[in-house]
Amino acid sequence: MKKLSRSYLTLIYLFFYIPIIVLMIYSFNNAQYSLVWHGFSLRWYQTLLQDNDLWISVWHSLLLGITAATLAMGIGGLAAISLYRYRFFGRNLLYGLVFILILSPEIVMGISLLILFSLLNVPLGFWALLFAHTTFCVPFVVVTVYSRIVSFDEYIFEAARDLGAKDSVIFARIILPLLWPGLLAGWLLSFTLSLDDVITSYFVAGPDYEILPLKIYSMVRLGVKPEINALCSITFGFTLLLVVISQLVLRKKP
């Protein structure tokens, strides 16, 4: 039984990793349009490193991700705190809306924002993308932060209030320090979502702000694009590096 489950796990892990490893191998293939092995070459890494547009789009994506995640963290954090602390008109509506936003099809969100922006004459580009990304990140932050906040001891707030602390003080001195891991988790989740979003961005992106996922989309549509393989190796290597570092850092703590 144990053997069976172990080999099953291995099988699924292989399913997860083999495609990525295959791409990494092909990234050294010396052929432009073909997947047939043409010999070992580092030229795609060279092409990739020299592809200015690509690095600009990486930079744009990082900027967008950081800004959108920060904004979403702010708004989502405030929303989660309000949901937890206050009884107000429309609370259930807000609650439901968060759900709807998480589960509503991305394509509908992209389209609804495209209609909004073309009606308001908002130029497609950085701002449109920022609004869109923040909007689809906010509900995820709310969920992450909320699940953290409910684990608090309610008496902390009451004690603080009894001692005469105002809401803003409670927020700054108690909620924020306690909530900070939840906020960070929400931020990271938002950042990841923003970096990987294709569908919503596809509708609201403009010419002077190309972002990485759309750049990749225009490349993968060509069927075989060796730069993508090289990019895959680089991102995968980078992820592994981050994971190893974070593991080492975490392990040091008692």
Partner 1 sequence: MKNDNAFKYFSLATTWIWLIIFSFVPYGLVIFASLMSHDTNHLIRLPFTLQNYVELSEPIYIKIFIKSFYIAGISTLICLILGYPFAYTLARMKSRLKGLFILLVIIPFWTSSLIRSYSMIAILKAKGIINSLLLSLGIIHEPIPMIFNNTSVIIGLVYNLLPFMILPLMTNIERLDNRLIDAARDLGANRITTFRKIILPLTMPGMIAGCILVFLPAMTLFYIPDLLGGAKSILLGNLIQNQFLITQHWPLGSATSIVLAILLAVMILIYLQSKRNKKEQDLL
Partner 2 sequence: MRALLISLILFFSTAALADENILNVYAWSGVIPDFIIQQFEKETGIKVNFSTYDSNETMYTKLRANPRAGYDIIEPSSYYIDRMRRQQMLEPLDKKQLSHYKNINSLFLKTHYDPEDKYSIPFIWGATGIAVNKSAFDPKTITRWSDLWKKIYLNQLMLLNDSREVFSVALITLGRSINETEPKQIKEAYQKLKELLPNVKLFNSDATISILIDEDATLGMAWNGDTFKASLENPHLTFIYPKDGFVIWVDTFAIPRNAPHQTNAYRFLNFMLRADVAKKIALDNNYPTANLAAQNLLPNSIKHNPIIYPSREVLKRGEFQRDMSDVALGVYEKYWEKLKMGS
Residues that bind partner 2 (CB under 8 A): 31-36, 51-53, 60, 63, 66-67, 70-71, 74, 114, 117-118, 121, 123-127, 206-210, 214, 218, 221-224
The residue within the footprint of partner 1, chosen from 41, 58, 62, 167 (CB under 8 A), is 167
SS3 197: coil
Least Å distance, CB 135 to partner 1, is 4
Q: State the Cα–Cα distance between residues 212 and 180, nearest whole angstrom.
A: 29
Residue 205: burial class (beta carbons within 10 Å; 0-12, 13-18, 19+) = buried
Angle between helices 176-196 and 212-220 (to 10 degrees): 30
Of the CA atoms within 13 Å of residue 147, those in its CB half-sphere come to 8
CB of 205 to partner 2, least distance (A): 8
Binds 9: which of partner 2, partner 1, none (CB < 5-8 Å by kind): partner 1
- Interface with partner 1 (CB under 8 A), residue total 87
Per CB under 8 A, does 131 bind partner 1?
yes
**Cα gap 31→41, rounded to integer Å:** 9
Stretch that binds partner 1, among 41-49, 62-70, 131-139, 179-187 (CB under 8 A): 131-139
DSSP element (H, E) containing 188? helix 176-196
Listed ranges 42-50, 140-148, 152-160, 179-187: which one lies at the site for partner 1 (CB under 8 A): 140-148
Residue tagged 């990749």 (tokens): 216
CB atoms within 10 A of CB 197: 24
Q: Which of 36, 163, 248, 249 binds partner 1 (CB under 8 A)?
A: 36
What single-letter DSSP state applies at residue 166? -
Cβ of residue 206: shortest distance to partner 1, in angstroms? 15
Interface with partner 1, residue 177, by CB under 8 A:
no
Stretches 45-53, 62-70, 71-79, 179-187: which one binds partner 1 (CB under 8 A)?
71-79
Residues facing residue 72 across a β-bridge: none
